Structure 1
Amino acid sequence: MQQSENLENEQIPPAEEPNESPKETPEYTAEPVEIFPETEQPASDEAQPQPESRARRFARKLVRWTLGFLIVIGVGFLAAVFLIYQPKVQELKQAQANLTNVEATITAQEAQVLTLESQIDALNKQVESLNEQIEGLKEEKQALLAEQGLHELQIVLLQTHANVLSAQIALFESNPARARILLKNASEQLAEFETMLP
C-alpha cells in the first residue's frame, strides 16, 4: 500500500506536448496551362529539312511500285482463286460424285451380269442334260423302230404262214378256189416281206 501511496504522491510530470513549430507550407502558384498549346512556327534559324536525295526518292517510288504490283498480283490471285479455282473445285467434286454414282451403277450391273451368267450356266447344264436325254431317247427310238420292224416282219411272216395253212385246209376241204386266193395272198405277203428286209 505504501507503494501505491508513493506512486500517488509522486506526481507524474505532465507529458510534453510536441513542439509545434509553425511549418511553412509551400505555396503553390498556379500558372495557367494550355491544354492545346499553339504550335509554334519553326524559327527561321532552326535547321530546315534538306531536300530529298535522288536515290531516296527512287527507293521510295520503287517501294510504292513494288507494293502496288504486289497488291495487284494479290488481287489477281484472289480473283483467280474465286473465279477459276473454286468453280473448278466444285466441278471436280461434282465429277467425283458422278464418278462414284457411275461406279456404283457399274458394280450393280456387274453383279447382275454375274447373276445372269450363273443362270446361263445353269440353263446350259440343263440344256446339256436335255440333249443327253434326247440322244438317249433317239437311240431308244431307233431300237424301238428296229424292234417294230422285226415285229412287222414277224406279223407278215405269220400272216403268210396263216394263208398257206388256210390254203392247205381249203385243199383238204376240196375248195381249190379258196386255196388259190389264199396262196395268191401269201405270195403278195412274201413280196412285201422281201421289201421289208434290210
Structure 2
Amino acid sequence: MMAPKPGERERRSLAQPVETRADGERMTVAGYAAIFGEVTMVGDLFEETIAPGTFARSLRGDDIRAFYDHDTALVLGRNRAGTLRLAEDARGLSVEIDLPDTTAGRDVRTLIARGDVSGMSFGFEAVGEEWDFTRALPRRTITDVNLFEVSIVSIPAYAGTSIALRSLECARRSDTRSFLPATRLRMKMSLDLARRS
C-alpha cells in the first residue's frame, strides 16, 4: 500500500438531532464540526481522535469555505468574507455559517428546519499526528491540520476506507509518531439553525 497523495480525502460522518431557533431575518447555522477527545472508529481499521489546539494554526490564516455536501459549486460561506466564523473552544471546532440568500442557502435552511439534514463534516490535511500501536486497535491522535473546508452534509456515512488503510500501513512502516500527509473529512456532532438580525 502507498501513502495517500496530497489532496486525497477521507470522509467521517456522524449526525445528531438539529435544533432550530428564530432571531431576526438572517439565517445562521451553528454547531461543532469536531469535538476534542472524542474517539471515532475509522472503518474497522483504527480509532481516531482530535487533540485540543489542532485547528489553532490553520484558523489564524487559512482561507476556509463552507459548502453543501462538499460541492465547491454550492458555497455557503467563507471566513475571509465574514460569512463563516470558526473558532476553537474547550469543546472543539465551533462553526457559524450565515446562509446566503441563494437557491442552495434557502434549500439548506429548509432541509435543516425539516430535520432532513443534520450533519457537518470538515476537510483537512493532517500535518501533525501521533499513532499508538500498543492498543487492541491502533489509535491516531491528530494534533495539527491545514483546514480547507467545512460542509453541511445530507448523508452521514463513512467513506475513504482504502485511503485510511494506506495511512495506517504507512504509519506502521515508519514506526514513528510523526505526521503523515492525509486529508480528512470529519463530521460535526450537532447543528442548530438560528435567525440573526
Give the TM-score category using the shorter length: under 0.3
Determine which structure has the larger helix proportion and give its number: 1
More strand by percentage: 2
Bigger relative contact order, structure 1 or 2 (CA pairs below 8 A, ≥6 apart):
2
Larger Rg: 1
